[in-house]
């Protein structure tokens, strides 16, 4: 490992080891009078699941880096230990002096109650951050990634692709953002990739700025403020980022039924289906306060790009709004199958 790389890696490893010192000390405090390494591992996984998940992600992160080096004819550089072995290099079995079993059990119960509250709060926050994401690999992901690396693309074109891929929580997408964080030379996009991964609970280190003379692209920024007309123009011009999208289902619904639509999205994602919903899939462009004829043109195109249409039937959508009726009429006119889903409380039924 080159000197600079080795120093950076060792410094990062020392910082990470230090972060685990307090959790391990907490674990030691509640251990039963007789224990071994496996009990330490069991307690650590139970009471510090986020930290253990990070250990696993670091392992995969450095494994991937080593595999990349080997595939390019170089030697492994990081040789990271497996999560279990790594934790055992930090966790030491200590003999407990004058151990009181009742006292240890009471400590365990109190600690368990505190940690469960913290763990549940973290899960709730993470669930909230992922609520509108689709947990499926978009069919057009390879096209978008290739377009991102297309020669001549500026900051706006790249940001459009980044914004699109932020809507999915899948293996290829997370790998894409990890690579952006590692090697993207534009500061705005690199920081955005870092914050996105961090927000979703993935292990990530913020790459520092590149040394040397800064080229204009590295300093470029964009607010990416867009409107329905901008998306209309891109579709009219057959811009690949927008034209190549394909969906299994277009969701026609009342804007009051956000929770119900999220339920439908989750059910369909689990079955391997990709959905289109305007405030999820085109959220940057189709702002409700800017609704216009351009919006209607975009929705027609998205219906064409979808295999079927699902009408989410609720008390709110029973009296079809003009938008819902237009969507259903257009789908019918081009021969798209329309499926009505009756949603009531926690039940979703095909009508």
Strand partners, 341: 312, 350
Task: Indicate the pairing of strand 275-276 with strand 247-252.
Answer: parallel
Q: Which residue from 180, 154, 151, 155 is spatially nearest to 165, judged by alpha carbons? A: 180
Q: 342 in helix, strand or coil?
A: strand
Q: 86 in helix, strand or coil?
A: helix
Angle at 260 between CA 256 and CA 266, to 5 degrees: 140
Helices 49-71, 101-130: crossing angle, 10 deg rounding: 60
* DSSP H or E run through 267: helix 258-270
> Which value, in Å, is the radius of gyration of the alpha carbons in the chain?
25
- Residue tagged active-site, from 67, 240, 327, 337: 327
Task: Establish whether 327 is a catalytic residue.
Answer: yes
Residue 33 structure tokens: 């009078």
Distance CA 69, CA 221 (A): 32
Question: Which of the residues are catalytic?
Answer: 327
């Amino acid at each position: 490992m080159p000197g600079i790389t080795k120093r950076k890696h060792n410094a990062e490893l020392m910082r990470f080891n230090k972060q685990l010192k307090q959790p391990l000390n907490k674990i030691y405090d509640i251990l039963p009078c007789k224990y071994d390494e496996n009990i330490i591992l069991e307690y650590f996984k139970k009471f510090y699941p986020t930290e253990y998940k990070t250990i696993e992600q670091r392992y995969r992160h450095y494994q991937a880096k080593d595999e990349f080096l080997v595939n390019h004819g170089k030697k492994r550089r990081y040789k990271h230990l497996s999560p279990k072995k790594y934790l055992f290099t930090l966790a030491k079995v200590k003999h407990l002096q004058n151990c009181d079993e009742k006292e240890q059990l009471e400590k365990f119960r109190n600690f368990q109650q505190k940690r469960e509250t913290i763990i549940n709060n973290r899960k709730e926050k993470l669930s909230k951050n992922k609520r509108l994401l689709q947990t499926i690999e978009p069919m057009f992901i390879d096209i978008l990634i290739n377009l991102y690396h297309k020669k001549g693309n500026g900051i706006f074109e790249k940001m459009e692709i980044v914004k699109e891929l932020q809507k999915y929580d899948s293996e290829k997408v997370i790998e894409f953002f990890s690579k952006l964080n590692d090697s993207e030379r534009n500061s705005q996009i690199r920081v955005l990739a870092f914050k996105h991964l961090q927000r979703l609970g993935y292990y990530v280190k913020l790459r520092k700025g590149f040394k040397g003379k800064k080229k204009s692209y590295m300093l470029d920024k964009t607010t990416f403020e867009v409107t329905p007309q901008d998306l209309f123009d891109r579709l009219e011009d057959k811009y690949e980022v927008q034209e190549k999208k394909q969906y299994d289902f277009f969701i026609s619904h009342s804007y009051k039924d956000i929770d119900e639509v999220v339920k439908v999205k989750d059910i369909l994602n689990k079955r391997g289906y990709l959905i289109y919903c305007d405030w999820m899939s085109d959220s940057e462009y189709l702002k409700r306060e800017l609704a216009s004829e351009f919006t209607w043109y975009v929705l027609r195109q998205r219906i064409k790009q979808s295999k079927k249409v699902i009408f989410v039937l609720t008390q709110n959508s029973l009296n079809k709004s003009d938008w819902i009726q237009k969507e259903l009429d257009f789908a019918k006119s081009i021969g798209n199958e329309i499926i009505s889903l009756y949603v009531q409380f926690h039940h979703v039924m095909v009508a």
